[in-house]
Amino acid sequence: MEVNKQKEILAIQGMTCANCALGIKKHLDKKGIQQVQVNFATSEATFNKDRNYNTKEVISLINKLGYKANMITDEVESPGLSSIEKKFFFTLIFTLPLFSHMFLPKENFLQNAFVQFFLCLPVFFVGVWHFGKSAYSSLKTGLPNMDVLILMGSSAAFFYSIYGWVLFYGTEQSHHYLFFETTATIITLVLLGNVLEHRSVKQTTTAIRELSEIKTGLAKREVNGEIEETAFDEIKVNDILIVNMGDKIPVDGKVIWGTALIDESMLTGESIPVTKELDETVIGGTIVKSGSIKMRATSVGDDTLLSQIIELVKNAEDNKPDIQSLGDKVSGIFVPIVLLIAILTFFISHYVFG
């Protein structure tokens, strides 16, 4: 018996790296969900839905990992700084003076352990909150990401500084154990990398959103000799549409009456309009510069050329070359190997070399 399958798309918040996407994919694969693709660039997950599980169950599985999954909406991102940018600029305020103490004389107040501790503390809290959630989520998937190492490295420097400060309190030797600036610098620099990555991803999603906006609008449809307005996504195959000068072609179709000059630059890059006459094909999203036509819809919805272009852009990261697939495999074992090396280094240096 054939099982009815439907492609479902979810928006996922909280992914900080491609390894997060890989962890979500592997977790959903283990649960038996079919054709799972998680795209870090667009923050989306796609899968085939059937009667064995529904969308709410898949959302619940992702949310239990510490991420936030929702159905795709048409909401536009609010203007202003993003959450990751706010965290970066907040930590930068404390990190710059803390880092600068390395270039100042010993008499400067920034050399005081109390000052360094209180400058580092808010940065450390932000780092634990931001990287800790991602690290914990990755550990739940069984695929630890780089945030695990970032959290361990910054925490080690922070608590080692406190240990040395307390142990040698009031002595000159205590300054040899202060690495508060290391904690703050690690967190701030990684947040800077996340900001740059966020802006790069934002450019990709903005391009996709702008393409998707071309598919929206109202069209004039002829029904029994009368003209009515209808949304682009409500047009059906074989509907008769009227397109006048300045209008956007709603969907792919064929001219059945009239002549028009159509700007197809969004597809071809050619700025000179193209003449379209009887029985010629027109593409949805292109603009009528002059003339009027009647057209018969031949491709609608996801079957239009514009929809297929958008889908290709979204799936560009899913069609990975061999070198990227190899990179994903290496990243899956990189963190455990680094942790193992760190543990071995500790025990060898402590017990063998004293």
pLDDT of amino acid 317 = 58
**How many whole angstroms separate alpha carbon 135 and alpha carbon 125?**
15
Half-sphere exposure of 178 (CA within 13 A, CB side): 26
Which residue's structure tokens are 């450390």? 124
Asked if the model's pLDDT at residue 75 lies above 60, the reply is no
Count the Cβ atoms, other than its own, within 10 Å of residue 197: 16
- Beta-bridge mates of residue 263: 287
pLDDT in tens, 50-68: 767 778 888 888 888 878 8
Instruction: Give the pTM.
Output: 0.70
Same fold? 6-71, 218-310:
no
Q: Is CATH 3.60.15.10 what the domain over 218-310 is classified as, yes or no?
A: no
Per-residue model confidence (pLDDT) at position 327: 64
User: 292, 258 in Cβ contact below 8 A?
Assistant: yes
Q: What is the DSSP string of 62-78?
A: HHHTT-EEEE---PPPP
Poorest-confidence range of 95-99, 122-126, 306-310? 306-310
* Angstrom distance (rounded) from CA 38 to CA 113: 45
Res. 318 pLDDT band, cuts 50 70 90:
low
Interhelix angle 18-30/322-347, rounded to 10 degrees, is 100
Domain ranges of the chain: 6-71, 83-211, 218-310
* Closest-CA residue to 300 (of 248, 252, 245): 252
Contact assessment for residue 252 and residue 296, using Cβ atoms and an 8 Å cutoff: no
| pLDDT reported for residue 187 | 96
**What are 269-297's pLDDT values in tens digits?**
888 899 999 999 999 989 999 999 999 99
> Tell me, what amino acid is at 349?
S
Distance, in Å, from the CA atom of 165 to the CA atom of 208, rounded to the nearest integer, reads 52
Residue partners of 243: CB distance under 8 A and separation at least 6: 219, 220, 249, 250, 260, 282, 288, 292, 293, 294, 295
| Whole-number percent of the chain with pLDDT over 70 | 90
Does 6-71 carry CATH code 3.30.70.100?
Answer: yes
pLDDT(321) > 80 = no
